[in-house]
Amino acid sequence: MNIALIGYGKMGKVIEEVAIRKGHQIALKLTSKDVWDKDTLVNHSTDVAIEFTQPSVVTKNILTCFDANVPVVVGTTGWYQGVNEISQTCIEKNQAMLYASNFSIGVNLFFKINEMVAALMNKYNEYEVSVTEVHHVHKKDAPSGTAISIAEGILKYYPKKIQWRLDSNKDGLWIRARRVGDEKGYHSVCYQSEVDSIQIDHQAHSRKGFAIGAVLAAEYIKGKNGVFQMKDVLDFFSR
Ligand SMILES: NC(=O)c1ccc[n+]([C@@H]2O[C@H](COP(=O)([O-])OP(=O)(O)OC[C@H]3O[C@@H](n4cnc5c(N)ncnc54)[C@H](OP(=O)(O)O)[C@@H]3O)[C@@H](O)[C@H]2O)c1
């Protein structure tokens, strides 16, 4: 497969390694310094684009992929207020997009475990639930997209909690967002009562886990039309 890397930063470089090891070619490596458009993707015979850039440019990049008729895997986080509109455009233009707040297979298993635990714990009012996420100091968005996905999984089972919040409030679900060194990604959910606490957590050891999932997603989306998420990929490859 010919892959265009839109964004060749920390993630783009690890995705390149994983993709080449799996026998794919990197047709393009684009950074903020490059001037490119739909013809650039077409002229490099791009089969799939993998987009890991920054929230302010992601929408434009996705639309350029649609115009080039190139399926796009979107890893950038912090842009999800625009996701419904882009998904609609994707369907109207008969294009393909797969987005995920976290491509790690382990984190996607953690999403499922999180919901199972929330379904159990919501019956015990003495436990107050909160989410913690820790990432490297250069991360532009807070809370992380992964923490938001975890919070949404919990909120399904806690109707009294109106929404997630970055501060502590009885009616909301508190997400503590911390920025430390080169932290690759830590997420935990804590249920705390006066007498004890129960905690589940996920620790990423390197960026490779995200890259493996992103390449798997690129292999999955090639030749498809529609809007997909990581659970579609995992359901497909775990059959
Ligand atoms: N979904 C997941 O599993 C997952 C995992 C990790 C990270 N992320 C997210 O992925 C994004 C990127 O993370 P990162 O750690 O790789 O960031 P990074 O190291 O800052 O790299 C970003 C790259 O995007 C490039 N870029 C910026 N604007 C561009 C544009 N208009 N066109 C093309 N390239 C452009 C930058 O170019 P320059 O080099 O010129 O600045 C840089 O190469 C973030 O939103 C992060 O939160 C998601």
Q: How many residues does the chain have?
A: 239
Shared domain check, 133 and 173? yes
pLDDT in tens, 150-181: 999 999 999 989 899 999 888 899 999 999 99
Cα 140 from chain centroid?
A: 14
Shared domain check, 216 and 99? yes
Shared domain check, 99 and 115? no
What average pLDDT does this structure show over 224-236? 92
> What is the structure's pLDDT at 81?
92
Shared domain check, 12 and 97? yes
**How many independent structural domains does the chain possess?**
2
Residue list, ligand 1 pocket, CB within 6 Å: 6-12, 30-33, 52-54, 57, 75-78, 100-103, 139, 210
What is the C-alpha to C-alpha distance for residues 102 and 114, in angstroms, rounded to an integer? Answer: 15
Shared domain check, 158 and 44? no
Q: In this structure, what DSSP letter does residue 83 have?
A: H
Q: What CATH number is associated with residue 212?
A: 3.40.50.720
Cα dihedral sign, 55-9-221-26: positive
pLDDT in tens, 173-221: 999 999 999 999 999 999 999 999 999 999 999 999 999 999 999 999 9
Q: What is the CA radius of gyration of the chain?
A: 19
CA distances from 203 to 69, 134, 177, 185, 234 (A): 37, 10, 15, 6, 20
Shared domain check, 123 and 79? no
Write down the number of H helices and E strands in the chain. Answer: 8, 11
Shared domain check, 118 and 92? no
Please tell me which residue in 10, 38, 44, 139 is annotated as part of the active site.
139
Encoding tokens for residue 236? Answer: 């497909």
Shared domain check, 115 and 99? no
> CB 155: neighbour CB atoms within 10 A?
18
What is the C-alpha to C-alpha distance for residues 121 and 96, in angstroms, rounded to an integer? Answer: 38
pLDDT in tens, 23-70: 999 999 999 999 999 999 999 999 999 999 999 999 999 999 999 999
Report the residue among 37, 53, 64, 179 best suited for mutation to probe ligand 1: largest number of ligand atoms under 8 A from its CB: 53
Shared domain check, 162 and 84? no
> What is the structure's pLDDT at 239?
65
What is the C-alpha to C-alpha distance for residues 7 and 13, in angstroms, rounded to an integer? Answer: 9
> What is the structure's pLDDT at 237?
73
What is the C-alpha to C-alpha distance for residues 152 and 164, in angstroms, rounded to an integer? Answer: 8
What is the C-alpha to C-alpha distance for residues 187 and 147, in angstroms, rounded to an integer? Answer: 7
Q: Which domain holds residue 30?
A: 2-103+208-237
Q: Is the peptide bond before 143 cis (omega within 30 degrees of 0)?
A: yes
Give the position of tokens 């830590």.
Answer: 186
Shared domain check, 129 and 52? no
Backbone angles phi, psi at 7, to 5 degrees: 105, 115
Shared domain check, 199 and 120? yes
How open is the CA angle 110-210-95, to the nearest 5 degrees? 100
Residue 135 catalytic?
A: yes
Q: What CATH number is associated with residue 123?
A: 3.30.360.10
Shared domain check, 145 and 122? yes
Quote the mean pLDDT of the chain: 96
Give residue 35 CA to ligand 1 midpoint distance, Å: 16
